[in-house]
A and B are shown apart, each in its own frame.
Chain A
Amino acid sequence: MLLYASGDAASFERLYARHRGGLYRYLTRQCSDRSAAEELFQEVWAGVIQSRLRYRPEARFATWLYTLAHNRLVDWYRHHGKVQWQPLDGEDNDHAGTAAPAARTVQPDVLAESRQLAQKLLELLAQLPPPQREAFLLHEEGGLSVEDIAAATGVAAETAKSRLRYALAKLRQGLADLR
């Protein structure tokens, strides 16, 4: 990003190629409207382009990129009144040591080979509360750590950790129910 800010256009293409897929899936799976997701995709990259001169490497580029995406997405949710982007009751108080939803161990190798399970995973993901789904997507698509998720979403690290744990537990629970 610093290279791009200094005028290296090729560095932007490398950045874009690295993050385009993850960001696109993050937005399309958070936003049910694909056209709206593509519009948000352009807006996020436009924000990157316009903010290149103000960019400071205080965090990973991916964290900054998904922070922009999160803010756009929250605005879009608020504007369209889709859902209330509010934490679920008790989720913020759920620390790492507290009990998560019970999940049975699945056979990953078997599940991975099954397209049906993968499709089921997406369905379960869509059923998650948006903050939890976002935490999962940021972790999987953006490769963000719990701290990065907290930074990108503007919540405490414990909250981000709790969201992620809840998301993983629910997904495991849903997949276990198939068996």
Chain B
Amino acid sequence: MEENEDLSRLYAATPRDEPPAALDSAVWARARLEMEPPAASAAGPTPWLRRLTFGPEFALAAVVVLSVSLVLSVQHEQSPPVGGQAPQTFEEASSAPAAPSEAQGQTPLTGKASEPAPAVLVQPRAENAHANSHAPLNAESFPAQAASPGGAAAIPGSISQNAGVPAAEAERRDAAAGTSVAPPARAAIAPQAPLVAPAVPPAYAPAPPAAPSLMRPPAESSSRTTTIGIRGTNFGVQDKEVEQKPEAWLKQLAELKAQGRVQEFRAGLAEFKKRYPSYVVPEALAVPE
């Protein structure tokens, strides 16, 4: 055993190699890393967030459903009303939805349009800013259109605010805004028609009794109408609530009469009777001679 101890001392005198510092650092780093909590060392989301992670199939299905819903919603908003109380008037008949392209190529003047007093009122709806932006379709532009025998074919540049905009483009934009105006309506406006362009929204269009059919029925709101050429005309009906309630409509007519606005009163009353033929109009609202 003593020999072994001597040999051990000799071996202890041999160079004592030590691991390099880099090796020590690597081992210590490994030890520290293993000592950290697993949640802290994990690079992924927290457990509750991982539970909320959806599979790719579910995400794809959700995207498809949302897309279809969005498309259907947009189509539903853009589609014309089905049914409803819209009266079948001459305007609607002459401005059938299938007719616009055909009507654009024709001279839209009709017998009525050549009549001297198809007064046209254009009152842009106050709440419809987009309709207001199309000023040429309002009262100021109609005389210019009517002055041309060719209808919309020749529009003087001095009057049209959208003189540089093709009629088709304007109609397209209108259609997009839900305020389209059919070409026959422009032709239906008499060249010499005295136009009234009230600045105040409640203004009433002076329409002669002889041509009430040119006016858009109250039920046709400007937001989704294909009625001939008069946009925003509502014959004293200021909103849909009044428009859909005869009593409120008659009340407004009575106010017009009381204010001495006979022309407006007559036009409105005629439209009212047309809209509600079976409704008994009070004698107080009888048309003055």
Contacts and interface: CB of A to CB of B under 8 A. Distances in A.
A119 B14 contact: yes
B30 A49 contact: yes
Nearest to B17: A25
Nearest to A136: B11
Interface string A113-146: 0010111011001000000000000001000000
Nearest to B5: A108
A16 B27 contact: yes
Given A49-B34, A172-B3, A21 B16 contact: yes
A108 B6 CA distance: 5
A45 interface: yes
B62 interface: no
A25 B15 CA distance: 10
Contact of A42 (B15, B18, B23): B23
B75 interface: no
B279 interface: no
Interface in A2-46: 7, 9, 12-13, 16, 20-21, 24-25, 28, 38, 41-42, 45-46
Contacts of B7: 108, 121, 168, 171-172
Interface in A54-113: 103, 105-106, 108, 111-112
Interface in B27-46: 27-28, 30-32, 34-35
Contacts of B50: none
B24 interface: yes
Nearest to A169: B3
A82 B35 CA distance: 37
Contacts of B20: 38
A9 B27 contact: no
A119 to B, nearest CB: 7
Interface string B65-84: 00000000000000000000
Most A CB contacts (10 A, CB to CB) among B10, B23, B30 go to: B10
B27 A140 contact: no
Contact of B18 (A9, A12, A21, A118): A21
B4 A20 contact: no
B8 A42 contact: no
Contacts of B15: 118, 122
Nearest to B18: A21
Contact of B9 (A7, A16, A20, A108): A108
Nearest to B27: A45
Interface residues of A, number: 36
B157 interface: no
Interface residues of B, number: 28
A135 to B, nearest CB: 12
Nearest to B2: A108
Contact of A121 (B3, B10, B23, B30): B10
B200 interface: no
A106 B4 CA distance: 11
Contacts of A175: 10
Contact of B11 (A12, A16, A38, A140): A140
Contacts of B26: 42
A16 B14 CA distance: 22
A140 B8 contact: yes
Contact of B35 (A7, A38, A41): A7
B3 A103 contact: yes
Contacts of A168: 3-4, 7
A9 B35 contact: yes
Contacts of A108: 5-7, 9-10
Given A42-B26, A108-B10, A140-B8, A9 B19 contact: no
Sort A-B residue pairs by CB-CB distance and give the 5 closest, nearest first.
Answer: A108-B6, A24-B19, A45-B27, A118-B14, A118-B13
11 contacts: A9-B32, A21-B18, A45-B27, A108-B5, A118-B10, A118-B13, A118-B15, A121-B10, A121-B14, A168-B3, A168-B7
Given A7-B35, A41-B23, A168-B3, 8 more contacts: A21-B16, A21-B17, A25-B16, A38-B20, A41-B19, A106-B6, A108-B10, A140-B11
